[in-house]
Amino acid sequence: MALTGVTRPGHIQLRVLDLDEAVRFYRDVLGLTETGRDASGRVYFKAWDERDHSSVILRQADRAGMDFFGFKVLDEATLTKLEADLKAYGVATERIPAGELLETGERVRFTIPTGHAIELFATKKFVGNGLEPVNPKPWSPASDRGIAPVRLDHALLYGPDVGGVLKLFTEVLGFNLTEYVTLPDSDEKGALWLSCSNKAHDIAFVVHPDPGKLHHVSFLLDSWDKVLRAADIMAVNDVKVDIGPTRHGITRGGTIYAWDPSGNRFETFMGGTAPYPDWPAIHWTWEGLGEGGGLDVAQRKLHDTFLTVVT
Ligand code: M3P
Ligand code: FE
């Protein structure tokens, strides 16, 4: 689809247990760029090739996890329209004033049936990627610190009522279902990959009894070499790795799942399919997720941590 309504993942606010340790990790190991701190102590980061002020916001808390995930919409008129559409659909929405997040306009926040806080916003300060606007070079010094992802790519969230989320994202927010997993001996969808673009996914969900859980936040790298380099950087810095480097059958992305110092899982990811909206969603069975290589093409098993370790 043309990128008209919801255009992309814009920001995620993560809770971390030790802010100083987290800042060192996100800046020096993951290689994001710090772009600001606010009066409440939150620290803002962007990936090197992102153009807006910030995409990752860290907040010190006594429990890890995600506070909210925000999508950037095309403009303020689209924000108002989607807010009205959500209300008409029966979703309670809240307007958060401009400036509550640094350099960010008004946000429309709502809770989805998996218990997650999702936001839409239209305005965030353009700061650029450090390259010249005319005849840019392909590289900047910020692209070579730590793992140095290109951008925040997607998140995988866990919670109940994945079916309700499918309806909301496809019927109100204009997302397409690209791939899904059905539960054992059932037609019920237990996992969804949803796209507002022609990326394999901009957000994904897996059914889980506890609401509001984060499985992982994912950062895009531009080659498999960079994923292997990320594995080396993780080893050098004693980062705890969950799965990989390998490839997901679902989305076909090259991947490593690992944990930040607070236990929030993150992914360094490359590639993936580029589905068009007229493509039917790909169906994976429960066995396909595990032995069929949906999760891990190389090992073809459902790793224990996949369903159990979330923040
Ligand atoms: C992803 C992801 C799985 C495939 C996942 C693909 C979990 O990019 O969300 O990690 O089977
Ligand atoms: Fe992922």
pLDDT at residue 88, rounded to an integer: 98
140 pLDDT above the threshold of 90: no
- Choosing from 53, 116, 201, 208, the catalytic residue is 201
The arithmetic mean of pLDDT across residues 209-228, rounded, is: 98
- CB distance 178 to ligand 1 below 6 Å: no
Q: Which residues, other chains included, contact 14 with Cβ-Cβ below 8 Å and sequence gap of 6+?
A: 56, 57, 58, 59, 64, 65, 66, 67, 214, 217, 260, 262, 264
- Is the Cβ–Cβ distance between 66 and 20 less than 8 Å? no
102 pLDDT above the threshold of 60: yes
- Choosing from 116, 208, 215, 216, the catalytic residue is 216
From CA 238, how far away is CA 226, in angstroms rounded? 18
**CA torsion angle 288 221 275 308 (round to 10):** 30
Active site annotation includes 216: yes
116 pLDDT above the threshold of 70: yes
Atom of ligand 1 nearest to the CA of 294: 11
The arithmetic mean of pLDDT across residues 273-292, rounded, is: 97
Check the CA dihedral 93-43-11-213 and report its sign.
negative
How sure is the predictor about 168, in pLDDT bands with cuts at 50, 70 and 90? very high
Per-residue pLDDT reduced to its tens digit, 171-185: 999 999 999 999 999
pLDDT at residue 169, rounded to an integer: 98
pLDDT at residue 185, rounded to an integer: 94
300 pLDDT above the threshold of 70: yes
The arithmetic mean of pLDDT across residues 99-107, rounded, is: 98
pLDDT at residue 3, rounded to an integer: 84
142 pLDDT above the threshold of 80: no
- Is the Cβ–Cβ distance between 237 and 26 less than 8 Å? no
> What is the chain's percent helix, strand, coil content, to nearest 5?
20, 35, 45
- CB distance 206 to ligand 1 below 6 Å: no
Active site annotation includes 215: no
Active site annotation includes 248: yes
The arithmetic mean of pLDDT across residues 263-269, rounded, is: 98
The arithmetic mean of pLDDT across residues 18-37, rounded, is: 98
pLDDT at residue 139, rounded to an integer: 86
- CB distance 204 to ligand 1 below 6 Å: yes
How sure is the predictor about 306, in pLDDT bands with cuts at 50, 70 and 90? very high
pLDDT at residue 247, rounded to an integer: 98
Atom of ligand 1 nearest to the CA of 206: 7
Active site annotation includes 116: no
- CB distance 180 to ligand 1 below 6 Å: no
- CB distance 196 to ligand 1 below 6 Å: no
How sure is the predictor about 67, in pLDDT bands with cuts at 50, 70 and 90? very high
What integer best gives the mean pLDDT of the chain? 97
Cα-to-centroid distance, 110 and ligand 1 (Å): 25
Which of 178, 193, 252 best tests ligand 1's pocket when mutated (most atoms within 8 Å of CB)?
193
Cα-to-centroid distance, 267 and ligand 2 (Å): 6
From CA 131, how far away is CA 138, in angstroms rounded? 8
The arithmetic mean of pLDDT across residues 12-32, rounded, is: 98
Atom of ligand 1 nearest to the CA of 267: 10
Protein residue with its CA nearest to atom 2 in ligand 1? 156
Which of 12, 151, 153, 156 best tests ligand 1's pocket when mutated (most atoms within 8 Å of CB)?
156
Task: With 0.85 as the threshold, say if the pTM is over it.
Answer: yes
How sure is the predictor about 41, in pLDDT bands with cuts at 50, 70 and 90? very high
pLDDT at residue 215, rounded to an integer: 98
Per-residue pLDDT reduced to its tens digit, 189-217: 999 999 999 999 999 999 999 999 999 99
Cα-to-centroid distance, 6 and ligand 1 (Å): 21
Atom of ligand 1 nearest to the CA of 154: 9
pLDDT at residue 30, rounded to an integer: 98
